[in-house]
Structure 1
């Protein structure tokens, strides 16, 4: 006697899919069904207003003086006018429609999440605790987190050798790390920014020893994607006594390592300015008009497998792809061991293209893909690069590649972790789930098969 098991959708999954489809349908039909022509006009007005706002933002960024002021006024006035218009007409219908759409997204993702089609979690490895860990700490990182959380004292109590970087002069952190390895260090760690982390991580990978991140930086992007506790840097040091290892990838641009990303184009050019560190917004607003209108800056060409990105304003190459399907997950990577570079290219040459970028589900000016190797060329012998936020210039063309599993990262066994990404809404799959019929596995006998509906 055997068991006939069929992968039919469970009842909860089927009903969640049906609720999602019903809510989405009502969200779209409600403004038109109740408001009639008025409701339809409001929907169209909202879309047009969103396009005008995007165009106004482009004008504001690509102009100076009175033109920028006028565009800024439009960019602010349009959404305010839309809110007032909706509030004065069918506000309750639009509010209900928005609520139904949120319900459709939530139930749809719940239905798809229950299918079990999740990305496998990154594997952890149990390894012995390091005997001679060496940590570099930047006292200025994160506004003085090293001193505020007494990181040096805790690390030394756990048996680590700690070197505080001299904030008054530039130090070669790679040389310091290599010297520590030569003296017997079996783990290298950094309490500092992502740029410093990448340099020391490359030394650790070169010698095949673990690397450790202490979340003492300002942004801690790499630490965030490792699932570390950014609110409590001292918790990162628990990895010294009670830790596990992850195998993560390491990116390289022109031979230089990066743990997060390498940026080319507009952003990379802006951060080169000496004034950027003290006045980020003011510096960007001053430089963007010439960069966006191509009066200044390099003309780039990026080669990604069989795709050529011609004259993009910006190219972002990341160590594993960033999430782009969930607004709450933007700027985060669910995995660091997929073995591919994430590539994002952007080209917007006019206010019209800015509006299309917002309204078109698949705009031509936006490229999102992955590759193991990327080449960025330019119309000049050197180009600006933002490497993990550090401003550099590299000779062209710049060759980028990823080395899978190159880095052993030791992290605390008990840590917040990386949130599971919400599944991408797939309406075709939801329709199939909603139409599926639940069945129960029953005994199978020779020559006869019985199923219970």
Structure 2
């Protein structure tokens, strides 16, 4: 057994010990009836809070604000009951032990560094790199970090998207390859990166990501430095190549994800850019209760999900706890799409999400193809953060290992995603 395996064994044993302690502390301190009271009060508070939040999102007028007040008061009342019964310390100790168990389990079940890292390939520096930069992206990071001058000093040709007219980025990238460019790069948002990445795949040239966007999700999952985009330029001198997947949706490329349903409908609203919060609160009641928006059907491989209110399709799956595409993908070369569907049409179904019920409410899966159909000829889709209208049925696919991404040899790296809690695996690691 290797040192790493021995370490994971002891982490697994520590996790199991913390779980046992978290159960015994309430039993010893409060007795069986006390434990039952704790569980009933805590469960009731959680159910009331979730139900009230669902009402807040799906109702308008006075009922919405009454529901919000209940959602705030319910956990306060539960804590007050625990204090009155002198059981709050028991809950806090059991909670601390539970958190310790989760931390130990993550350490025990986390993939090894070799399994979590995308393979790297040594490559010579490009001779004629061509970079497209959007000076407005990321609040002006191109100018702030003097990216144009630094790129040109490294031998790159730079095209700025600073004119008043819209530029066909795809045509610009194809023209650069025709003129002899042997690397294409982008300093801009994920949507622009996806368009140029598709041209790089089409002509089999490497692709460079410069983290000059707002959120830089793709750059984060490549392990790049998001705080200093100039470090991305190090790949022009001393870079390595990664082979990553590229998603497509009705032939349009995406590097991160495509969203259907509630989010896509909200982003499509003209009022969203001016007042995001007010737009979300105004549209959610009709979208969640089915009074607005197309009726969707998702076919994930051989499985059909009817009537989901939200669908997230990602270029490789996100971490197990991430249902909104806001977290990390440990690897971008698994050759599968990640798929999350959510359908909550009643208070009961909202409460069932506390148990992560898979009956109609929530599903997570992977597939090489996903098809979204609807009762309308076109539906709005959020593709890498941009709202577009696509004809139905919408077909999402994955191109495994299609994209040659050039990254600096020295970079922060990818933080591993939290592994799924699995009792069988945990027990096996602890006592096999």
Determine which structure has greater relative contact order: mean sequence separation of CA pairs < 8 Å that are 6+ residues apart, divided by chain length: 1
One of 149, 167, 171 as aligned partner of 2:167: 171
Q: For structure 2, list consecutive stretches of 5 or more residues without a partner in the other structure.
A: none
Give per-residue Cα distances to partners, 1:351-395, cap 9 Å, x unaligned.
Answer: 111111123454541110011111110001111111111100011
Number of corresponding residues = 430
Query: Deviation of residue 18 (structure 1)?
Result: 2.9
Determine helix, strand or coil for the equivalent of 1:308.
strand
Unmatched runs of 5 consecutive residues or more in structure 1? 1-5, 437-453
Normalising by structure 2, report the TM-score.
0.94
CA gap 1:9/1:180 in 2 versus in 1, 3 angstroms: closer
Report the Cα offset of residue 264 of structure 1. Answer: 0.8
Could you tell which deviates more after superposition, 81-90 or 186-195?
A: 81-90
- The question of whether the paired residues in 1 share the 8 Å contact of 2:154 and 2:237 is answered with yes
Encode CA deviations 1:419-442: one digit per residue, 9 max, x unaligned: 233443332333344445xxxxxx
Aligned to 2:253: 257
Q: How does 1:402-417 map to 2 (within 5 A)?
A: 402-417=398-413
2:18 corresponding residue in structure 1:
23
Q: 1:171 to 1:255 in 2, by over 3 A?
A: same
The 3 A distance-change label for structure 1 pair 371 and 14 is: closer
Distance 1:184 1:12, change over 3 A: closer
Give, in whole Å, the separation in 2 of the partners of 1:386 and 1:57: 25
Indicate the larger mover: 309-318 or 158-167. 158-167
* 3-state SS of paired residue (1:271): helix
Specify the alignment match of 2:311 in structure 1: 315
Conserved? CA contact 1:323–1:333, under 8 Å: yes
In the alignment, which residue of structure 2 is the partner of 1:107?
104
In the TM superposition, residue 11 of structure 1 has moved relative to its aligned partner by: 5.9
**Distance change in 2, residues 1:170/1:43 (3 Å):** same
Distance 1:20 1:188, change over 3 A: same
Residues 324 and 330, structure 1, Cα contact 8 Å, conserved in 2: no
Confirm or deny: 8 A CA contact 1:59 1:68 kept in the other structure.
Answer: yes
After TM superposition, give the deviation of residue 297 of structure 1 in Å.
0.2
Q: How does 1:29-428 map to 2 (within 5 A)?
A: 29-36=24-31, 37-88=33-84, 89-113=86-110, 119-166=115-162, 168-325=164-321, 331-360=327-356, 362=358, 364-428=360-424
Distance 1:344 1:140 in 2: 32
Distance, in Å, in 2 between the alignment partners of 1:163 and 1:392 is: 25
User: Secondary structure at 1:338's aligned position in 2?
Assistant: coil
CA distance in 2, matches of 1:27, 1:264: 41
Partners of 2:41 and 2:183 in 1: CA distance: 59
Note the C-alpha offset of 1:81. Answer: 2.5
Partner of 1:119: helix, strand, or coil?
A: helix
Give the structure with higher Rg (CA): 1
Residues 54 and 127 of structure 1, relative CA distance in 2, 3 Å threshold: same
Whether the aligned pair in 2 keeps the contact of 1:139 and 1:167 (CA below 8 Å) is: no
Is 1:430 aligned with 2:426? yes
Q: Following the alignment from structure 1 to structure 2, what is the Cα–Cα distance between the partners of residues 385 and 11?
A: 47
Whole-angstrom CA distance in 2 between matches of 1:398 and 1:14: 46
For residue 321 of structure 1, report the CA deviation from its aligned partner. Answer: 0.7
* SS of aligned partner of 1:336: coil
Q: What is the TM-score of this pair, normalised by structure 1?
A: 0.89
Q: 2:71 is paired with a residue of what secondary structure?
A: helix
Distance 1:141 1:9 in 2: 43
**Partner Cα separation in structure 1 for residue 225 and residue 4 of structure 2:** 37
CA RMSD, Structure 1 to Structure 2 (Å): 2.3
Partner SS, residue 342 of structure 1: strand
